[in-house]
Structure 1
Amino acid sequence: MKGNNIGKAAIFDLDGTLLDSMGVWDHVDDVSLNSRGIAVPEDYAQAVSHMQFREIADYTIARFNLSDDPQDLMDEWNALAREAYATIVEVKPHAVEYLASLKASGAKLAVATTLPPQLRDPAMDHVGIAQFFDEICSTDDVQFVGKDQPDVYLHAASLLNIEPHHCTVFEDILPGLQAAQSVGMKAWAMHDDSSDALWPQICEVADGVLFDFSNAPLVL
C-alpha cells in the first residue's frame, strides 16, 4: 500500500481511541469526588467527555458546589493520573501496526487530544507511538475549545498542511465525530466502554466503526 495515502492525513484522539486509558479517569473521578464525600454520578463521565481540562474543573466545581480553585483541582487530577499514564496505560489492539502501515503509505499523522502535555507525552512514550506522528496537539493549543467544536481537528490539519476534506479523524466520542464531520472530515469511531450509552447514535453518525484497529481503513 506504499503511496496510497500521499496527500492525506489521519488525526487520532488518544483517550479511548488509541489508548485504553479511560479506566484511569474512572479512578481519578472516584478518588477525587469520594474524598469530598460525593459519589460519582452515572452521567458524569459522559457529561465531561468532550470538554477540555479547565472546562471539566469549572463544571465539576459548579455541579457539586465545591469550594476548590479550578487550578488546584486540575493539579490534584494531574497528580492522580500522571503515574498511571506513564506506567500502566496500553494501546488499543493493533494500533501500533496500523500507525506503522499508515506511515508507510505516505499519510501524515497527527494527535488531537484533550490531554495536557504533561499526561499525553509520557503516555505516548510509554506505549511507543510518539515516533509515528508528524504533529501532536491538544485543546490547550486552540484556546481550550472543547471537542464539540472542530477547532482542534482544524488546527491539526493546518499543522500537517492537509485540507480538511483529505483528513480522517479517529474518535470515540459522539461530539468529536460530529465536529470533525462538520468541516468535511471523515470520522471513524472507536468503541470504548465509556461511550456505550451513545454507541447506537455513534454508529449512525460515523463513516465507519471499529472495535480495534485490525479492520481500520488502509486507504484514507
Structure 2
Amino acid sequence: MLDWTKIETVLLDMDGTLLDLNFDNHFWQEFVPQRFAVLHGLSLEEAKHQLRPRFKAMEGRLEWYCLDYWSAELKLDIAGLKQELAGLIAVHPHVTEFLDAVRGSGRRLLLVTNAHRGSLSLKMEKTCLRQFFDAIVSSHDYGFAKEQQGFWRTLQETHVLEKTSCLLVDDSLPVLRSAQSFGIAYLAAISKPDSRSPVRQITEFPAAEDFRALMVGLIPDFRV
C-alpha cells in the first residue's frame, strides 16, 4: 500500500490511530453528559440534548480539543474526569510492532495530535508510547488545529519537514484532507478507530483497519 523507499518521516496521530477511540467516544458521549446532568439536575437525555450542539459547533476548531475550554464552559473538571476513566485508555493492536519497525528502519517518527497537553500526558503515562518518538507535537503548542493549514506550516518550519517524503497516518478525514492540501505526499487512514464500532468504508485515501497493512514493505517479507 505504501512505497516505503520514498518515506523518510512518519507522522502519527494519537486518538483513534494509535489509541482506541472508544475511550474518547465514551468520555464525551456518555461520561461527560452523566456528570453534566448531575451538576444541573437534568436527565441524561436532556443533558445530551443540550451538549450535542455545543460540541458540534466546536468541531475542527482548537477549542474542541481543549480541556481548559470545556472545563470553563461546562463547569466540570474535564482533566480530573479523564483521570477517573483512564482505565479505558488502550493501544490498538499491532501499534507497538509498527513503531518498533519504524524506529528500527532509522526513519524519523513524530506524534502529531490535536490532544490537549493534559490529555496527552495522561495517555503517554498510561501507554508508555513516548519512548518511540523523536518529537511529540500538540496542536495547542501552535495555536492551530490539524484541520487548519497553519498547523502544517508551523510543523514544517519547526521540524524542517520535506513534504514529498512524509507519511501521515490519521483516523480523521478532515485532517487528512488538510494535510493533503498542504502537500504531504503519503496519507493513510485508519478505518476502525473505535474497537466497538464497525469498520468505516473509506475510498478517499488508502485505508487500513490496523497497522499490519502499513507494515508491508517496511518489514522485509512481512505478510498480512
Give the TM-score, by structure 1 length.
0.74
Structure 2 Cα separation of the partners of residues 198 and 211 of structure 1: 7
Give the Cα–Cα distance (whole angstroms) in 1 for the partners of residues 10 and 96 of structure 2.
14
Q: Deviations along 1:86-117, whole A, 9 cap, x unmatched? A: x4311111000101101111111111111111
Contact 1:10 1:108 in 2 (8 A): yes
Q: 1:1-40 residue pairs with structure 2 within 5 A? A: 8-34=8-34, 35=37, 36=40, 37=42, 38-40=46-48
Which of residues 194, 209, 212 in structure 2 aligns to 1:211? 209
CA–CA separation in structure 2 for the residues paired with 1:56 and 1:130 = 20
Query: Aligned residue for 1:60?
Result: none
Alignment match, 1:102: 102
8 A contact 1:100–1:132 mirrored in 2: yes
AA matched with 2:150:
D
Q: How many residues align?
A: 200
Q: Helix, strand or coil for the counterpart of 1:111?
A: strand
Q: Which amino acid aligns with 2:85?
A: A
| Change in CA separation of 1:7 and 1:125 when aligned onto 2, cut-off 3 Å | same
1:62 maps to: none
2:145 maps to: 146
Question: Quick check: 1:142–1:155 contact (8 Å CA) kept in 2?
Answer: yes
Structure 1, unmatched stretches of 5+, are 58-67
Paired AA for residue 164 in structure 1: K
RMSD: 3.3
Deviations 1:106-157 (A, max 9, x none): 11111111111121123123212111101111110121x2232243344444
Is there any run of 5+ residues in structure 2 with no aligned partner, and where? Answer: 219-224
Which residue identity does 1:135 align to in structure 2?
Answer: A
DSSP 3-state at the match of 1:109 = strand
Percent sequence identity over matched residues? 23
Which one has a bigger Cα radius of gyration? 2
**Is the contact made by 2:71 and 2:77 (CA closer than 8 Å) also made in structure 1?**
no
